[in-house]
Structure 1
């Protein structure tokens, strides 16, 4: 997959006019981080940081996924969000 397509999808997400919901946003976040940085690193935030925990867990869901596969899934999810 061309990373240009991934970059375009990332720009499209920033311009969404409707809120896709927390589940979709966390999935987008996890896929984006996996595609750009690889497997999750660092320790999981504590219970006093629930947003940080959710983001960490969303990223950790894709651990072991290749950058290319994460990019493909990200682009496919953005397509689904923009076609509905």
Structure 2
């Protein structure tokens, strides 16, 4: 099974039989946010919330990438991960 749209890729991730690595999950998160919302304009998380900071920084690193490009990269990454986690 292979995804070809953002929606089908999201559905495919729900069929993974094991959890991707934290690095892979972070990449999925940032590409999804860029594809659906565009550039990160949220406030930087404060304190010691390292998970929120990692998510914020990962998304911020994609600044300037078009929603279409981010969507395509997300789909390609999900298809790649599906070979490992399904």
Q: Which runs of 5+ in 2 are unaligned?
A: none
Whole-Å separation in 1 of the counterparts to 2:43 and 2:5: 31
TM-score scaled by length of structure 1: 0.89
Q: Which runs of 5+ in 1 are unaligned?
A: none
Task: Give the root-mean-square deviation of aligned CA atoms.
Answer: 1.2
Q: How many aligned residue pairs are there?
A: 81
TM-score scaled by length of structure 2: 0.87
Deviant stretches of 4+, over 4 Å: none
Note the alpha carbon deviations across 1:39-70, whole angstroms, 9 max, x for none.
Answer: 00122112321111011011112111000000
Note the alpha carbon deviations across 1:4-42, whole angstroms, 9 max, x for none.
Answer: 711000111122111110000000000000000000012
